[in-house]
Every structure is written in C-alpha cells, then in structure tokens.
Structure 1
Amino acid sequence: MSAFSPITVSGVLLAGGQSRRMGGQDKGLLPYQGRSMASHVIDSIVPQVDDFYISANRHIEEYQSFSFPVITDDLDNFQGPLAGILAVMEQIDSEYLLTVPCDNPLISPQLRQRLVEAVLATGSDIAIAHDGKRLQPVFALIPRRLKQSLSDFLTSGQRKTRDWLFQHKVVEVDFSDQANYFININTPDDLQAKPKIGSNIPVLGFAAFSGTGKTTLLTKLIPALRDKDIRVAVIKHAHHNFDIDKPGKDSYQIREAGAEEIIIASAKMMALMRKNHDEIIEPELQPLIHRLDTHNVDLILVEGFKHENFPKIELNRAELGPAVLFKEDPHIIAIASDKTDSDDDMPLILDINNIPAMVDFIEQFIFSWKS
C-alpha cells in the first residue's frame, strides 16, 4: 500500500468512542458530504500504510463492510482511544502503529512520511502531529515495543491519552502548512460545514455560470503560466456523462467486461479510468487533489466545484449580467471581467482580457499560499 519506508507501519482508524457531543451517534458512520466519515478517512490513510485496522466497539458489521479487520477493546464502557490502540497493537506485526480518528475526514497525504522522518531524525519514541495552534495527539506514530507500557498504564486505571504519550520521548511534528487537514467533526453543526480544501500545492478555482468562458480562459492562461515556469495541473468538473475511451478499443472492451478500474500507460502518457456507479454522488474536490502527482506541479487550477470552500476567481461577462457569486462565497478572492469598474463591496477586479495581468495576480497568489 505504501511507498518505501525504512520501517513498517500499520494504520488504525479510531472509531471506538461514545460520541457524546454528537448525541451518542457513531461518528464514523455519519454521512459527511455524501459518504460516511470513516470512508473519507480510509481513502486517505490506507495508501500510506502497510496494513490497516479499524478500532470499533459497536456497529461492528457496518465497519466490517469496509473489508478491513475490526478490533474491539477488551475494556468495558468505552475506555477511550488508548484502549483501542492497545487492542490493535496486540494484533499487528509492524514496528509502528499510525493512529487517526474517525471524525477528521481530511488526512494529510504526508502524515506517515513526516511522522516517520521525525522519529528517525530525533530518535524519539513517538511522533505527534501539531497543526500550528494545538497538538493533535490522536494523529500519532507509536512503536509496538511500547505495548507493555500502555497495558500497564491502562491496568493502573489511567485513561488520558496525553498522560501516557508524554511518559515517553515525544517529537511534535509541524503541520502548520497543512492546518486545514485537522478539522475534527464533533457536533451536528460541524457536519454541515464544508472545510476549506487542504493542499500543500496552491489551488485556485474559476467559478462562473455556463457560457462565461472558463475553458477558453484556461487555454490562454496555461501557456502564459508555462512561460513563467509555473507547472500546472487542472481538475475539471463535468456536469454530464463523458467517456475518454472509444468502442472497439481493447481498453473499452475490458472495461465493459466489468473491470472497475483500468490504467492505460505508454512512454508518453498514462490514464486511469474508474467506474462511478449510479448511486455515487457528485465528485468531491479533495479526493481528486489526492490523486494528482504533485511532485512536478506548482499550481492546481480548478474549473467548476464552485460550491466547495477554496480560493476562486469569479468569471463575469457584462453581456451575462453583473457578478453575483462573490456575494454568497467568501472564498472568491477576485473577479475577472470585461467590465472593470466595481462597487465598494466587490473583490479585486481583474481584466479578463489582460492575460499578463492575470498571470501576475496568480504568481502573487502562489507566493502568498506558500508564505
């Protein structure tokens, strides 16, 4: 599952709590943006670990449907995350256990990498993520060799996670550049709020009504950005059925035979095709960003997804009426229009026909994202 690592790491989804602030509902199974929170976490963390487990004390069959081992605590009455961690530590063969909670649907794609590097660099026992404002003790890398220490701690009647963690040498790992990946969903109101998109690569969207010319603008901007040595990836939302394959091709026949995913690769290009079944809801931006290979990308441009929370430029043509999306979306940072006069309450106005000026604005946006 994971890339090469000098140590072996198992992962665990911690879903064994009582969820008091959620009215006792099982948070991992609650719907978040159309899917259970557990499914969001699993999609993000499984590619980072060598094997994966779920710690749960109720709704066992529902958690087993994810096709990973489900481990219950030996202790009664929901004794907290440490009880679940110990139960999983007793099952694994890996040297380390990477823990993540079920109520944090966004997981940094660098979580394992940074925690492992910190442990190896400092000689610490445990690595814990820090989002720049607070410690995140359930995002931790814990060695299996501390299993007896944890067992003794729980046997003594103690339950506080921080108290046990800091009995050992801990390194706090800086994730302040990815603070948006730590968004614990604890209340019903939290479930309804969409978080800002998390990415270590600048993400900039173009929001507009149909017919405004989003694609036309992108085809002009991308070459101009390339001239500035800014490498661009694009994510585009399609509102209709589409197919990049053709009947009669080998890959088309294989897909129609029932393959769920197909990768076609050559020396020049690679394409991944995955079937979306009828019950699947509209695609979400965050998982699509995770699918990009960002090692050779400086900027991600997004066409569509205007209802998600990330920085956007609203496109406007005078013939289609005034700009209006910015009034409902605080994430619109500028308006690109062929009408450049503005009211006091409007964001910065960019000339949609002045590509060099728009490139200058995007360069400043990239700099501000990274600073």
Structure 2
Amino acid sequence: MSELNKYAEKVTAVILAGGMARRMGGMDKGWVELSGKPLISHVLETIRPQVGRCLINANRSMDAYSALGMPIVSDLEGDFQGPLMGMATGLHHAPTDWVMFVPCDTPSLPDDLVNRMLKMAEASGAEIAVANDGNRMQSVVALMRRELLSSLQTALKEGERKVDRWYGQHKVVEVDFSDKPDAFVNVNSRDELAELQQMPALLGFVAWSGTGKTTLFRKLIPLLKEQGVRVGVIKHAHHKFDIDHPGKDSYELRKSGADQMLISSHTRWALMVEEDQGDYPSFARMLSRMDHSTLDLVLVEGFKREAIPKIELHRTVLEKDLIHPTDDSVIAIAADRPLALQREIPQLDINDETAVLQFVLDYLAEQQR
C-alpha cells in the first residue's frame, strides 16, 4: 500500500457547503462557476483522491449536490448556524477516526493536504490540525478527531459559534503550507469572484402570482437597454414547459432521445437540456450556464428561496401576505399604494416603471463600485 493510500483510509473528508453565503448575495457558492465548472467540482477533484470517503455538508440545492455521487448530510440543526454546525454534522456522520474539513469555495487546495495534515497531527499528538498559509491560520481547513463531537455539540448548545474559540479548548497544531500560499484562496464574496472571473450583478423580483412580474419586466428591460445595460433574465417555471414545437426538426430530434439539443441560426441560438432537477432547480447552476462576460445585470423572476437581493412586488387587490417580513433579502418593495412595513426599506410605485428603473440603476451602480 502506498503512503498516500495508507493515510487516505484513515480519513473522511467533509466539504462544507451549507452556509448562506451572504457576501455572495446568497448564491449557493458550491455552484458558482469558475473556469467552466462549479467550485464544488474543483474541490472534489482535489480532495477525493486524498481520502477514503467523502461527504458533502449542504442545506440547499440538494438534488444538484446529490448528482455529484457523494453522500449529502444536512446540518444536525437548522437555521444556518455556521461552520461549527457543519463540522458537528460531519463528525456525526463520518465513519473514520479522523475527519478533514474543507470549504466548498477553495478551488486550489494542495494535492498533498491530507497527507501533511495527518502526519503533523499524529506526530504532535494534537486533536486538531489547522492549515496555515504562511500568513494566517485557515480555520475551516482542519483535520480533527471524530471523538471531539461531544465537545463540539456541548459548545453549540451553549451558543458558541466562533471556530477559533472552540479550537482553544483543545490541543491544536498548525500545519505550515507557506510553500503553497495561493492554495487557500477562497471565494467569499462577489468581489473576490470577480477577481477570478467576470460576474454580473443579480437582482430578483418576487411576488404572488398575478402581481405582474412579467409585465414589469417587459417595460423595464427596454428602459435598461436604453441606458446601455446588458441584461440577462432567469425565470423559474413552476410547470413543465417547452420552447420547441411538434413537427420541427429540433423538437423531433430531442424527443427521439437527445439529452442535449442545440439549435442555432445567424441571430439566435438555444440549448435545450433534458435533466431532472427535482422539485427545485439549482439557481447557481442555472446562473453558471450564462455567459457572464456579456452581461451587466441578471434579473431573476421567482427563485424565492434564494438569498439574492430582491424587490418585492405587491398589489393590495390580491389580498396576499407581504413577503419581506420573512425574507431579509428583500431590499425594496414596489406596491400600488404606500404600505405600513415591518422594517424600513424603500417603497416604489409599481405602476411607475421610471421610478423602478432609477432604483435598479442606482443598485447596479452600487454593485459595480
């Protein structure tokens, strides 16, 4: 048995992908695309050969993560309690004495990470080994003993959420990776992602059916185009749909069994993909299919669960509950009359597309600073 395999069998890797990613605008970071593939795929390709088993800790986009072929484990307790809860979940499910934790947004991890971490941990008698890039400790790139689960669960019950403070209760060794300082560059925000690739601003519009989301889009998009804004749109359909027609060659070829069908003319092309995404498609995966370099702004219709910035549309005649009290991602509301709101956010006139346009332009300018 090679040295790599000897160490691999002792370790389960847990990829932490269960956070809310607020600094990324609420996007599921695992499915943010870099160099043609999602961040989670970069991490898997590096970490999977180094360990005997691999788990993914995720709390959304479950069908998408399941398609990767790795076991998915959701937080033992909900409400997005942070990386310590993800670690507790990993320790709970791991079958090995050692568990290696890595974040889903670190695409350039060392290919000898686990080997070096475990060697140092065993040589020092440490309970936790944490990577150090030569400048600082990388707190969530950590190898720890599974037997620490009880200690971690106790800390969580007492309200502890700081990784470093919990580490302070145990014997920790830092593992020097100063020879690979760029290996731990992660993508915590859209600014950091923009350094690696171009990324358009995102703005969602949420409302009850019948409020007029599409009607507003049809008015707003031409106005944005007049201002020189390059606009993309992602729409969540709650029903089956078809963009082709029976009798057309492309329709018949797709129905004959083609998994992907791309049709192109001199002015337009469309890619149709047959793929079961479960009850809720992954927004980040859909976003990654767009050519970000050609867009300034992506308007999103639907996808209420995503924690991206949103404008709520509301018409009192529908007698529906407001959405913003239960969604902190709503940054403004456009309604047909002034409303008494539970928190202070800008109010717009839903029938005044010029006012909505100005709000969107101001938002876009802020995102592009």
Contact kept, 8 Å, 2:201 with 2:364, in 1: the verdict is: yes
SS at match of 2:48: strand
Give the letter for the 1:351 counterpart: D
Alpha-carbon distance in structure 1 between the residues aligned to 2:10 and 2:298: 37
Corresponding position of 1:122: none
Aligned residue among 38, 44, 48 for 2:38: 44
**In percent, how many aligned pairs have the same letter?**
31
Alpha-carbon distance in structure 2 between the residues aligned to 1:219 and 1:17: 57
SS at match of 2:243: coil
1:354 maps to 2:324: no
Q: 1:168 to 1:180 in 2, by over 3 A?
A: closer
Give the letter for the 1:255 counterpart: R
Alpha-carbon distance in structure 1 between the residues aligned to 2:217 and 2:186: 35
Structure 2: give runs of 5+ residues left out of the alignment: 1-7, 21-27, 57-64, 71-95, 133-174
Q: 1:230 to 1:358 in 2, by over 3 A?
A: same
Corresponding position of 1:242: 241
Q: Deviations over 1:224-247 (max 9, x none)?
A: 111111111000011111001111
1:284 CA drift (Å): 2.0
Alpha-carbon distance in structure 1 between the residues aligned to 2:285 and 2:306: 13
C-alpha RMSD of matched pairs (Å): 4.7
Corresponding position of 1:257: 256
Alpha-carbon distance in structure 1 between the residues aligned to 2:15 and 2:200: 28
Contact kept, 8 Å, 2:17 with 2:30, in 1: the verdict is: no
Alpha-carbon distance in structure 2 between the residues aligned to 1:338 and 1:219: 18
Corresponding position of 1:274: 273
1:340 CA drift (Å): 2.7
Aligned residue among 331, 335, 338 for 2:329: 331
1:312 maps to 2:310: yes
Alpha-carbon distance in structure 2 between the residues aligned to 1:47 and 1:210: 36
1:57 CA drift (Å): 3.7
1:283 CA drift (Å): 0.8
1:178 CA drift (Å): 2.6
SS at match of 2:176: helix
Alpha-carbon distance in structure 1 between the residues aligned to 2:41 and 2:266: 25
- Identify the structure with bigger relative contact order (alpha carbons < 8 Å, sequence gap 6+): 2
Contact kept, 8 Å, 1:335 with 1:347, in 2: the verdict is: yes
1:278-317 mapped onto 2 (5 Å cutoff): 280-317=278-315
Name the TM-score, length of structure 1 as normaliser.
0.58
Aligned residues: 269
Corresponding position of 1:219: 218
Q: Deviations over 1:176-204 (max 9, x none)?
A: 643798xxxxxxxxxxxxxxxxx932111
Contact kept, 8 Å, 2:334 with 2:347, in 1: the verdict is: yes
Name the TM-score, length of structure 2 as normaliser.
0.58
Alpha-carbon distance in structure 2 between the residues aligned to 1:153 and 1:58: 13
Structure 1: give runs of 5+ residues left out of the alignment: 1-14, 20-25, 69-76, 82-100, 108-137, 182-198
Contact kept, 8 Å, 2:11 with 2:53, in 1: the verdict is: no
Corresponding position of 1:365: 363
Greater CA deviation, 211-220 or 240-249?
240-249
